[in-house]
């Protein structure tokens, strides 16, 4: 029997009928066509499928769609404010060369968002720890770590300015 669920994804509300075994990853990618979230392993080991659910970073491949009923989800598609602008995390990933094949990128960016929202000035070690559940086979991580610290600086500055104005 299918279950009716309501989820808010990147600010938009959706009603879906899903099988009880359908994962959030399948619901996002196949039902909502939000294919920015990837599937690298399906076993919770690579981090490519990471999304934020009510402020927590989760592996969408291990999360059942029914369990996010009534909750709010942020995916990579929710990062950029518009087609002309990018989120500081995205800008930093592009600028520092943190993207090669790009398959780990959306999970990495979401991890960065989660990390920086909880810890706006992470040390290098904290960033590396924050990424330890995320695999990348191309970049050797160093440029990703750099991107996250660059983004952190930028985000502090704009938040600061927002506060002042």
Partner 1 sequence: MKEYSIIGKDVPRTDAEAKARGSALYTDDIRLPGMLHGRILRSPIAHGIIRSIDTSKASRLPGVKCVITSDDTPKIKYGNWRLFPETQDEYPLAVDKVRFIGDEVAAVAAIDRDTAEEALELIEVEYEELPGTFDVESSRAEGAPVIHDYCPSNVSVNRKIKYGDIEKGFSESDYIREDTFSFQAISHAYLEPCASLAQVDLDGRITLWTSTQTPYIVQCLLASTLGMRENDIRIIKPYVGGGFGGKMELRPWEFCAALMAKKTGRPVKFTLGREEEFLAGRRRHPMKIHSRVGFKKDGTLVAKDLRIQLDGGAYNAMGPTATFLCGNFGAMLYRYPNYRFLGEHVYTNKPPASAMRGFGAPQSLYASEVQMNIAAEELGIDPVDIRLKNAQVSGDQIPDVATISSCGFSESIRAVAEMSGWYEKRKSLKPGQGIGIGCYSFISGGVFNWFNTQYPFSAAEVRVFSDGTAHLLTMASDIGQGSDTVLKQILAEELGLRMEDIRMTSADTAMTPQGDLGTWGSRVTLMAGNAVIDAARKIKEQLFGAISARFNLNVIHHVECKNGRVQATARPDYGMSFGEAVAMVQKANRGEPLFARGSYTPRGKGLVTPAFGFGAQIAEVEVDRETGLVKVKNMWTAHDCGTVINPRSVEGQLAGSIQMGLGYALSEQMVMDGGRTVNVDFADYKMPTAMDMPPSEVVHVDTYEPEGPMGAKETGEGLASPTAPAISEAVYHATGFRCKDLPITPEKILKAI
Binding site for ligand FES (CB under 6 A): 39-42, 44-49, 59, 61, 99-104, 136-139
User: Which residues is 5 bridged to in the sheet?
Assistant: 16
Are 117 and 78 in contact, with CB atoms under 8 Å apart?
no
**Contact partner, 145, from partner 1, ligand FES, none, Cβ < 5-8 Å per class:** partner 1
135 binding partner 1? (CB under 8 A): yes
Q: Which segment (1-9, 62-70, 90-98, 113-121) binds partner 1 by CB under 8 A?
A: 90-98
Are 88 and 155 in contact, with CB atoms under 8 Å apart?
yes
Nearest to 55 by CA among 145, 115, 129: 115
- Residues in the interface with partner 1 (CB under 8 A) total 54
DSSP-based three-state secondary structure for 60: coil
Residues in touch with partner 1 (CB under 8 A): 29-30, 33-43, 45-46, 48, 75-77, 79-80, 86, 90, 93-97, 99-106, 109, 127-129, 131-132, 134-145
């Amino acid at each position: 029997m299918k279950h009716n669920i309501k989820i808010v994804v990147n600010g938009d509300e959706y009603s879906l009928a899903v099988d009880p075994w359908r994962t959030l990853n399948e619901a996002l990618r196949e039902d909502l066509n939000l294919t920015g979230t990837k599937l690298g392993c399906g076993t919770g080991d690579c981090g490519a499928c990471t999304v934020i659910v009510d402020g927590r970073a989760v592996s969408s491949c291990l999360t059942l769609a029914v369990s996010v009923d009534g909750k709010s989800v942020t995916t990579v598609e929710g990062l950029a404010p518009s087609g002309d602008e990018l989120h500081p995390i995205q800008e930093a990933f592009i600028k520092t060369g943190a993207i090669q094949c790009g398959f780990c990128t959306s999970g990495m960016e979401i991890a960065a968002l989660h990390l920086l929202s909880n810890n706006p000035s992470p040390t290098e070690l904290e960033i590396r720890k924050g990424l330890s559940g995320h695999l990348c086979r191309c970049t050797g991580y160093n440029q990703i770590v750099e991107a996250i610290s660059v983004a952190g600086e930028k985000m502090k500055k704009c938040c600061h300015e927002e506060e002042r104005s």
